[in-house]
Amino acid sequence: MTYMVRLLQDQAIQREEQFCKASSKQEPTTKLLNQQCITFPGPLPTDPVSSRALPASVSFMAKYIAKVDSGDLSCRYDEWYAPKAKFYNADGKVYNGGEEIWDWMRDLFGPFEKVQHNNKITRIVSDSPLSTSIASSQVLANGVNGTSATAPGNLEDTRTGDLFLFDTETTFWLKGVLAGEPIIVPRMLSFLVQEKHFGVGTDGLQIVEAKAWWDTNVLKEEVARRKQQLANH
């Protein structure tokens, strides 16, 4: 993990914390920041009792993480991503549409025997028509080049949804001859979840926007190193 990417992640967390503190001081009648900020010191709760008082999107995201960690991405893309969803990756690439996102995820996770997301801190900015776009584009929109991936004020982003922010360590186990010690990569992830409008959905919900901040070279360099070791033997 490079120093610059880690610094950007830390800055993103600080801005998000400032946003949550500011939003908690707003009056309930405030139209612009009429949302709830929820923080979990770890992974999302999965038991029904703990989840009962939480937004339905919490259970949805817990199921999504379990699906990705299972390695079984054979299901339809629209069970999780909206047809017009966007995914902004740390390498500057933007994946347009749920089908393209799901195909990319299959390619990304395909070489691995197992993947596990160990969420250190989980934050949710819940149910706001305008604040979701503000949080997404202003609080956590700085990519590795420090530019905003989504321009603030975009009318398309005035949608109601729950914004999930994960400070996580993702552990990757390689398959076959490249297997060995797991590769652990710090990552920052955000997901904007809405009620589904098209497609199958899960629990009536879909992801409409996602962003990832991480050093994408960590995996490439480790795979290359192990291949070189095999070649030398």
| Residue burial 115-133, b: 16+ Cβ < 10 Å; e: rest | bbbebebbbbbbbbebbbb
Residue 162 or residue 5, greater confidence? 162
* Cα 97 from Cα 77, distance rounded (Å): 10
What domain range includes position 41? 3-25+34-232
State both tokens at 57: 């999107």
> In this structure, what CATH number is given to the domain that contains residue 180?
3.10.450.50
Residue 212 or residue 23, greater confidence? 212
Q: Residue 188: is its pLDDT beyond 60?
A: yes
Average model confidence (pLDDT) for the chain? 78
| pLDDT tens track for 85-124 | 999 999 999 999 999 999 999 999 988 999 999 999 999 9
* Cα 125 from Cα 154, distance rounded (Å): 19
| Number of folded domains that form the chain | 1
Q: Which of 187, 183, 171 is nearest to 224 (CA)?
A: 183
